[in-house]
Structure 1
Amino acid sequence: MSIVLLRCDDRLIHGQCIVRVLNDYKVDQIILADAFTAANPIMENVYKMSVPSTVKLSLVDPASGEAIELIERASADESSTLVLVKDPVVVLDLQKRTDSLPKSLDIGPMSNRAGTRKVTYFSFLLQAEEQACEGLSDFGVRVFFQQVPGEKEVEWSEVKQ
Structure 2
Amino acid sequence: MAKRLAVRIDDRLIHGQVVTQWVNIFKADHIIVIDDQVAADKMQKSILKFAAPPDIKVSIYSSDKAAEQWQKNQFGKGSVFVLFKQVGQIEKTADLGIVFDEITIGQMAVTGERKQIYKQVGLSKAEAETLLDLEKRGIKFSFQMIPTDKKIGLQERIKKVFPDLL
| Counterpart-to-counterpart distance in 2, 1:145 and 1:151 | 9
Cα RMSD between the aligned structures? 1.7
In the superposition, relative to structure 1, how do residues 18 and 130 fare at CA in structure 2: closer, same or farther (>3 Å)? farther
Deviation at 1:98, TM superposition (A): 1.9
CA contact (8 A) 1:8 1:84 kept: yes
Aligned to 2:145: 147
CA contact (8 A) 1:38 1:44 kept: yes
In the superposition, relative to structure 1, how do residues 72 and 54 fare at CA in structure 2: closer, same or farther (>3 Å)? farther
Runs (4+) of structure 1 exceeding 4 A deviation are none
| Counterpart-to-counterpart distance in 2, 1:74 and 1:37 | 23
Aligned to 1:115: 113
| Counterpart-to-counterpart distance in 2, 1:147 and 1:80 | 20
Deviations 1:102-135 (A, max 9, x none): 3111110111111101110121012221111111
CA contact (8 A) 1:33 1:61 kept: yes
The secondary structure found in structure 2 opposite 1:32 is strand
Aligned to 2:22: 21
CA contact (8 A) 1:107 1:144 kept: yes
In the superposition, relative to structure 1, how do residues 133 and 14 fare at CA in structure 2: closer, same or farther (>3 Å)? same
Gaps of 5+ in 2: 160-166
The secondary structure found in structure 2 opposite 1:89 is helix
Quote the sequence identity (%): 25
CA contact (8 A) 2:69 2:75 kept: no
In the superposition, relative to structure 1, how do residues 25 and 120 fare at CA in structure 2: closer, same or farther (>3 Å)? same
Deviation at 1:97, TM superposition (A): 2.1
In the superposition, relative to structure 1, how do residues 3 and 89 fare at CA in structure 2: closer, same or farther (>3 Å)? farther
